[in-house]
Amino acid sequence: MKHIPCVLAISSLAILSGCNQAPEAVQTNVISTTAEQLPQVVAPIAKKVPHAMTIHGDTRIDNYYWLRDDERKAADVISYLEAENSYTNTMLAHTQAQQAKLFAELKGRIQKDDDSVPIKKGDYYYSSQTRGNNEYTTYVRSSDFSGTNQQVILDVNELAKAHDYYAVSGLDVSPNGNLMAYGEDTLSRRIYTVKIKDLSTGRLLQDTLEGTSGNLVWANDNKTLYYIKKDLQTLLGYQVYRHTLGTPQANDELVYEETDSSYYTGLSKSKDGTEIYIWHSSSTASGMSVLSANNVKAMPQRLIKRQANLEYSISKLGESYYIVTNLNAVNFQLMKVAIKKAHDQANWQTLIPARDDIKLEGIELFNDYVVYQQREMGQSRQIIRNLSTNQEQLLSFNDSAYTISAYGNNDINSNKLRVYYTSMTTPGSSYDINLKTTDKTLLKQQAVLGNFNVDNYASERIFINARDGVKVPVSLVYRKDKFKKDATNPLLQYGYGSYGATMDPTFSSARLSLLDRGFVFAIAHVRGSQMLGRPWYDDGKLLTKKNTFNDFIDVTKSLVAQGYGAKDKIFAQGGSAGGLLMGAVANQAPELYKGMVAAVPFVDVVTTMLDESIPLTTNEYGEWGNPNEKEYYEYMLSYSPYDQVSKQAYPNMLVTTGLHDSQVQYFEPAKWVAKLRDYKTDDNKLLFKIDMEAGHGGASGRFKRLEDTALNYAFMLDLMGIKE
C-alpha cells in the first residue's frame, strides 16, 4: 500500500455461487466481433460465505472474505479469477481490433533504439539502452561521455528470457568499478535475490543473497555489501545485514533491526562516499543512522533520537551536514551543522527559513553551490545558491506548469547540475545547467515518432473552488483543433491524493491517442498530495481523508460547468490509493461519470488496516489511522469503498489488478467487484482484468505495458462510440 497502495482483482465462476451451477452454464467463451452481435453473457457470480468480524461492538459481515488466498493456489479462487478474465475478454472482444490499432499507435511513437544520457559515477559513465523490439533494458558503461569503448554490464533481455515476469533492482557498482550487485524479482512481489557480477570477466560470483528489498550499498573495501532483508509475511524490509564476499549468507552480520513496524528502512551513501546511511521513515516521522563506509566493523549510530512528527534528511559536505527538516517548520527549512555537533539539535543553524506558502522539497549539494527545490502555488522551481556569496539564481523555463527534478549528480566537484524537465506538452528532456551562469545545455529530449507536433497541443493550470472554499489546482491538456470549451468534449480526469505524493504535470506520448480523438485530460491535484505544501497533505489524511474525495468530485462538476467536458462524457481514472479514490467517488457521485478505470485499487480499507499480517499494514497507520481505535474505525468505515457499496447505479467500470501484487493484495479488488455485482442496480459494464503473472506495477516489459494502456483506452473509446 505504501507509496501508492494497490489491490489485485480476481473473479469467480458461477459454480462458486450458492446455486452450484455447472461450469458449462457460464457462457465465458463466446466471442463476438461487434457490440451489436454480443450475446447475453453471464457475469461470474461469487458464492457468499458469511465471515463475521467484530470490533468496538460493531459486527461486519464479509461474504467474500473467502477470496483471500495468501498462497494464491486455492482452486476455487483461481477459477473465479480466470472466469473474470474470460468474461472481460468476451465483453471486450469486439474492441480487439481497436486495441490492436491503439497498441500499434502507442508503440509507433516510441523510438525503438534509444539511449539514456550517460551519468558519471566514479571513473565511468553509465547509461541504458533499448534496442528494436526488446522489452527490457541493456545497461552499459564507458570511459567517456561519448560512449567510447562501451561495455555491456547487464543485458536484462537475456536474464528475462526464462521468466514471464522479470525486474531488476539495485544495480550498484563497487567503488573500484570491478563488481556490480543487483537484485532480481521473477514473481513481482518485490522480493529480490541479490547477485554479484564480476565486470572484468562477466561471470557471476557464487554469492547469492535471498529475501532482500533490492536496496544495496557497497563499503569502500570493495568486498563488503550492505543490504536490507524483508519479512516474508509482511514484506517489510526491516533488517540491515553486512555481507562479506565469499561467505555464506547465513554468516552475514545483522547491523540494524527495525523494531517499530510503522517504519520503513532504506540505505544510501553520501555523495563523497565516506558514509553509509540507514533511513528510517514512517508516515509522520523520519530519521537517519550513520556508519562509516571505510570501517567494515562500524555499527550504525542514530544521528539524533527519533521524535514523533519530526522529519529530516541529511546531505554531507566536508565536515558539515545540510539538513532538510520540518523542525519548527511546517513547510520545511534548510539547516546546517558541524558533523561533530549534529547530535544536538540546538546546534542546527537555519540557512533557508520556513515559509508559510512555500515548501522546501529538497537539495542537491556541490562544493561551491547548493541547489534547492521549492514549491509555490503548486509549481516546483529550482534555485542555485552560491555557498560563498549566498547569491541566488532562479532557473527559468517557458512552460507555465512543468515538472523538474535533479538526477545523476554524483560528483560533488562538478560545476554542472543535471536535471530532468517535462510538461504536459513538452517531452521529457535532460539538461546540464552551468551552476555559475545557469546556461542550459539540452542533452536529450524524448523522441516522439509519427506526426507529433507540440504546437498542436495546449495545457492550462486552473484553480477550482471546492465545497469548503479552498482552491484546488487542476492541470489540463488537450489538442487545440479538437477543443472548443463548449461542453462537448469527452474528458478523462485522473487523481491520486495520498501519502503526500504530488502528481506533477508530465508528458505522455501514449496520452496523445486520447487527445487526438478529442479527449481533454485533467489531473485533479486533490488534498492528500503536497501540491500546495505540507498542509495540503495534512488536510487529506487521517480524519480529513474525505476532503480528497470531495475535491475530486468538485473538480469534475466545475470542469463540466466551465465547458471543459460534456456532462455525459466524463471518465475517471486512478490506481492504488488512487483506486481507493475511484471507489469512494463511485459510491458518492456515480451519476457524474460515464466510466471509471480503477487500477490495483486499495478498496477494503478497514479489513486490511485491522490485519497486521497483511504486507505494509502497520506502516499505514499514520496515513489512514489505526482502526483499533474506535474514532478511526468509524471514520474509515464511513468511506471505505468496499464497505460502502450500496444498491444504486454505478458507472461503467474496468478494474485491473495483479495476482502477485505486494502492495495492494489482489483479494481487495476481487471482493469489491463481487460485491458490486451483487448490489449495483444498472446494466453498465463491470469488468475485472487480472494479470495472473504480475504484481503492483503491472507487466514488466516496455511494450507489454502498452497492451494494458490500449485496453484501458479501448474500454473508454468503446463507451463513447469512437471507432477510429
576, 640, 662, 700: the active-site residue: 576
C-alpha cell at position 452: 507529433
- Please give the Cα distance from 283 to 81 (Å, whole number): 33
Question: Cβ distance 358 to 374 under 8 Å?
Answer: yes
661, 662, 691, 718: the active-site residue: 661
Task: State whether residue 573 is helix, strand or coil.
Answer: strand
C-alpha cell at position 308: 514523533
Question: Cβ distance 192 to 170 under 8 Å?
Answer: yes
591: number of Cβ within 10 Å:
9
Is residue 661 part of the annotated active site? The answer reads yes
Question: Cβ distance 277 to 270 under 8 Å?
Answer: yes
Q: β-strands 369-376, 491-494: how paired?
A: unpaired
Phi, then psi, of 27 in degrees rounded to 5 = -85, 75
C-alpha cell at position 167: 525486474
43: number of Cβ within 10 Å:
21
Q: Is 387 exposed, middle or buried (0-12, 13-18, 19+ CB in 10 A)?
A: middle
Task: State whether residue 396 is helix, strand or coil.
Answer: coil
Task: State whether residue 265 is helix, strand or coil.
Answer: strand
Provide long-range contacts, Cβ within 8 A and 24+ apart, for 197-201. Answer: 197/153, 197/154, 199/151, 199/153, 199/173
- Please give the Cα distance from 498 to 493 (Å, whole number): 16
Task: State whether residue 479 is helix, strand or coil.
Answer: strand
Nearest to 25 by CA among 35, 12, 15, 10: 15
What is the C-alpha R_g of the chain?
Answer: 26
- Please give the Cα distance from 212 to 190 (Å, whole number): 9
Is residue 281 part of the annotated active site? The answer reads no
Q: Identity (one letter) of the amino acid at 224?
A: T
H-run or E-run covering 98: helix 96-108
Phi, then psi, of 605 in degrees rounded to 5 = -60, -50
Nearest to 673 by CA among 7, 4, 2, 5: 7
C-alpha cell at position 87: 468474461
Is residue 576 part of the annotated active site? The answer reads yes
- Please give the Cα distance from 55 to 642 (Å, whole number): 17
Active-site residue list: 576, 661, 696
